[in-house]
C-alpha cells in the first residue's frame, strides 16, 4: 500500500472540509451562540471526522499504523522533563512570531479563564494532545514513514503546523512537531508524544489560571502580549528567551539520548541522523500535488486572515 499519496489526499480533504464547514456552520444560530470551550470541542470533532472516514474506507488498523508501546515510569518521567525543556522554545517561537502577526489564541483566553481549571485542562491539555498525536504522529507519521524517517518527522510536523491555519500557531507548532517526531523515534511509542504534548498544553493552561488568579488577567493578555509591550520591549524579552531556549535545547538533547538508551533505541536514533543514499527507485520526497495544493490553500487563507 502506497500510504503517502493517500495521506496527502487526506490532508487536502481535511483542509477543504475545515474551511467549508467553518463557512457553513457560521450560518447556524446554535453554532454562532457557542462559547470558546464549545467551539474548541467542535473544532476537534471536525478535524477528526475526515480521519475517521479515511480509516474506515482504507480499513486502517490503528494497532498496525500506530506504535502503542507501553513506557516505563522512569521513561515517562524523562519524557515529561523533555516536554518541560520544550516550553521555553515554544514560548520563544510564539514571541518571535508576535513581532509580525497577532497572537491567534489571545482572543479566546479571556473567555476560557472563566472556566474551572479542570475543564480547561480537559479541553486544552487532554483532548487536543490525544486527537492531534493520534492524527499527526500516528496516521500521518506512518504514512510518511515509507519515504524515510525525516520525511515522516518533517512531513507530519509541517502538516501539524499548517492545520492550525494561522502564522502565529504555525511557528510554535511546526518546530515542536519536529521535536515530537524525534521523540517518537527515540521511544517507539505514541504514548510518549501524547504525554509531552499534554505537558506543553497543560503548562499553558495552568499558567493562564495562575495569571488570572494573581493579576486578574490571562497570561496571553498580560505583559507578554504584543498589545501590552512595545516592539523594543518585545525584542528585549525575545533576547532573554533566546538564551533560555538555547540552553533548554542542549539539555533536551541529553534527555533524549537518555530516553533512547532506556528504550533500547539509541542505535536506531543514531541511525536516524546518519546520511544514507536513496535506493534506486525509492521515492525522494513525501510531497505530492495534493499536499502542494493543500499548502497553497492554507497559506492563502492565513494571509487573508491576517
pLDDT in tens, the chain (306 residues): 689 999 999 999 999 999 999 999 988 998 889 988 999 999 999 999 999 999 999 999 998 889 999 999 999 999 999 999 999 999 999 999 988 888 777 767 778 888 899 999 999 999 999 999 999 999 999 999 988 899 999 999 999 999 999 998 998 899 999 999 999 999 999 999 999 999 999 999 999 888 878 776 555 544 445 456 678 888 999 999 999 999 999 999 999 999 999 999 999 999 998 866 565 555 667 889 999 999 999 999 999 887
Q: Where are the alpha helices (DSSP H) in the chain?
A: 3-25, 29-32, 36-57, 62-65, 73-97, 106-112, 117-120, 127-132, 141-145, 149-162, 167-187, 190-215, 231-262, 266-272, 289-305
Q: Which region holds residue 36: left if phi is over 0, alpha if psi is between -120 and 50, else beta?
A: alpha
Q: What is the pLDDT of residue 223?
A: 44
81 Cβ partners below 8 Å, 6+ apart?
255
Q: Could you tell me if 195 and 63 are in contact, meaning their C-beta atoms sit under 8 angstroms apart?
A: no
Specify the pLDDT at position 215. Answer: 73
- Does pTM surpass 0.85? yes
Amino acid at each position: 500500500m502506497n500510504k503517502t499519496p493517500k495521506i496527502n489526499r487526506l490532508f487536502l480533504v481535511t483542509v477543504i472540509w475545515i474551511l467549508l464547514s467553518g463557512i457553513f456552520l457560521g450560518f447556524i444560530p446554535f453554532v454562532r451562540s457557542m462559547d470558546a470551550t464549545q467551539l474548541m470541542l467542535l473544532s476537534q470533532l471536525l478535524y477528526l471526522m475526515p480521519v475517521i472516514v479515511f480509516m474506515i474506507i482504507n480499513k486502517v488498523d490503528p494497532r498496525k499504523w500506530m506504535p502503542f508501546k507501553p513506557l516505563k515510569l522512569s521513561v515517562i518521567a524523562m519524557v515529561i522533563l523533555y516536554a518541560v525543556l520544550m516550553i521555553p522554545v515554544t514560548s520563544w517561537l510564539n514571541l518571535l512570531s508576535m513581532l509580525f502577526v497577532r497572537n491567534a489564541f489571545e482572543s479566546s483566553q479571556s473567555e476560557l479563564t472563566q472556566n474551572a481549571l479542570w475543564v480547561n485542562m480537559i479541553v486544552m491539555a487532554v483532548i487536543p494532545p490525544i486527537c492531534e498525536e493520534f492524527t499527526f504522529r500516528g496516521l500521518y507519521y506512518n504514512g510518511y514513514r515509507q519515504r524515510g524517517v525525516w520525511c515522516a518527522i518533517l512531513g507530519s510536523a509541517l502538516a501539524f503546523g499548517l492545520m492550525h491555519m494561522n502564522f502565529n500557531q504555525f511557528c510554535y507548532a511546526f518546530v515542536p512537531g519536529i521535536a515530537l517526531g524525534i521523540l517518537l523515534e527515540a521511544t517507539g511509542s505514541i504514548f510518549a508524544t501524547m504525554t509531552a504534548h499534554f505537558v506543553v498544553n497543560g503548562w499553558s493552561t495552568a499558567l493562564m489560571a495562575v495569571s488570572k488568579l494573581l493579576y486578574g488577567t490571562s497570561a496571553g493578555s498580560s505583559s507578554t502580549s504584543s498589545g501590552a509591550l512595545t516592539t523594543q520591549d518585545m525584542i528585549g524579552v525575545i533576547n532573554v528567551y533566546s538564551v533560555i531556549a538555547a540552553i533548554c535545547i542542549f539539555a533536551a538533547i541529553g534527555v533524549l539520548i537518555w530516553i533512547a538508551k532506556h528504550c533500547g533505541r539509541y542505535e536506531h536514533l543514531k541511525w536516524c541522523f546518519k546520511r544514507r543514499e536513496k535506493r534506486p527507485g525509492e521515492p525522494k520526497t513525501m510531497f505530492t500535488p495534493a499536499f502542494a495544493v493543500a499548502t497553497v490553500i492554507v497559506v492563502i487563507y492565513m494571509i487573508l486572515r491576517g
